[in-house]
Chains A and B, each alone.
Chain A
């Protein structure tokens, strides 16, 4: 019986040779370059107006902003782009019938696709991030320390997980919907809800419930802000984007969130990010299991 690697190998080759994947990498690279250039110009301007301001000494401080911002926008796009036709595309083209007419278990097919997508996403993230880091080392002239490099590597690993969350959601939609066009539309709607709508709703609900003093023009009090933030965060936690940005905050900032003056160890940063990592793992596993169950029970007609 064909193993999952036979399917994964073919799928991986298809993905990395596809125009879609190459375009995504080029766009990602361009976005990273533009973001780096923007920050570099800001630093240069700051230096020229205030000559005593030195170039940022911490490499991570510079890269964190770029990577975290770019990947939080780019990762869902990549996940949706790769996952939206995982099953529906094969169904529409009739290739699913030919593949399933062979002695393969359906879980082999879906596992192989998932493995191939994870490998391709890792490759894309690695290539573009390493290129960006390399360029920034050359431009800024600051080399990351071993600790910074480990934090970056961990962050990239969780970026792959975040991308796979969206890939999983998109794959699930492509499994239950008949047409790829439907799957694309719904995937984009889900992305828009998690990226924009939830945060807007969270703010509106928080304002309505907590009635913060800063909204009424009165001097803001700490309790009001705390309540407002707690509500916003509670509602936003529905979105995988929230958890990814939290992971970025904890991992890319070397300072302890509870004691901002102290530098946190990598392990303690991971501990702080633990619940958010767990949520992303659970959501990814859940959508994958749902896709798996749906696909293995579907009839080929």
Chain B
């Protein structure tokens, strides 16, 4: 399958000698068509530099990359023609209205004058800003500017959308508009790459993620696969709620060879095991006449994956 984004050992070093800082360190990234790919990482992880390289706005120090089949060094103009980019820290011309700003973006994208009005209209509607079209951008709130930023990416009807910190500083309504729009655009077959440190807001949208730290990918892949890998490494987590003598019940559970860890808090018992032992737990409970009020397997959340990847990076660093 043709990858929408494909990088090989992509590296960026700022400065030289003792001052040299490796912002992106030998990154290999493959993004398939139609996915919502999240690059998650703390500030300064190298996310912005990576996407700036992918759109030809920053030159790599070494390695190579192709976006929509175009080489980032030889054909960056074609990339920017087909990719909608929302850079971090962008701005609009405050003295122009929302519509005038988008008209200018449309002109830069060679949108014919006859189609310009319709396309700008649709872009404003998509981000729920149509009623503010004649308002000067200088009077916009930060969230409105962010939504207008998303609207400008839609002007060229891109095949790939790249968003850098799209929900930073956005209110919950703006975040919802963004999430709905991403789902809609993805439903239309567009590939979406989101870079953010706000994993709670954007993470759930993603089909694939890469956790980036200190210029490297600590983890990457389909979310389900990453969860499975983490379970393989860390085992199963099961939470049991009971009515009865929890300490005595826990003592019985410790006899199960699959159980590697156990913690009792009142009537709740947290179990770590090498396998899914829920059936065994229920069997022991019925044998000991302990009433099981609840039993559930806890899957690692994106936050768990994120924190684990970062702590792993810190230990290695």
Q: List residues of A whose CB falls within 8 A of some B CB.
A: 1-2, 6-7, 10, 14, 17-18, 93-95, 97-105, 299-301
Contacts and interface: CB of A to CB of B under 8 A. Distances in A.
A98 B85 CA distance: 8
A133 B84 CA distance: 52
B55 A101 contact: yes
24 contacts: A6-B107, A6-B108, A10-B104, A10-B107, A14-B95, A93-B91, A93-B93, A93-B94, A94-B91, A95-B90, A97-B57, A97-B91, A98-B90, A98-B149, A98-B152, A99-B108, A101-B57, A102-B156, A103-B77, A103-B156, A104-B77, A299-B57, A299-B58, A300-B52
Contacts of A93: 91, 93-94
B48 A301 contact: yes
Contacts of B95: 14, 17-18
A98 B48 CA distance: 14
A98 B105 contact: yes
Interface of B: 48-49, 52, 55, 57-59, 77-78, 80-81, 85-87, 89-95, 104-105, 107-110, 149, 152, 156
A254 to B, nearest CB: 46
Contact of A101 (B48, B87, B104, B110): B87
A95 B93 contact: yes
Closest A-B pairs by Cβ, 10 of them: A94-B91, A103-B81, A102-B108, A101-B85, A93-B91, A300-B57, A97-B87, A2-B108, A103-B80, A94-B90
Contacts of A97: 57, 87, 89-91
Interface SS, A side: loop
Contact of B59 (A2, A103, A299): A299
Which of B58, B105, B107, B149 neighbours the largest number of chain A CB atoms within 10 Å of its CB? B107
B55 to A, nearest CB: 7
Given A6-B107, A299-B58, A301-B52, A102 B91 contact: no
A6 to B, nearest CB: 5
A2 B107 contact: yes
Given A10-B104, A299-B58, A1 B110 contact: yes
Contacts of B90: 94-95, 97-98, 101
A94 B89 contact: yes
A98 B92 contact: yes
A164 to B, nearest CB: 24
B80 A102 contact: yes
Contacts of A102: 80, 105, 108-109, 156
A7 to B, nearest CB: 8
A100 B109 CA distance: 11
B108 A103 contact: yes
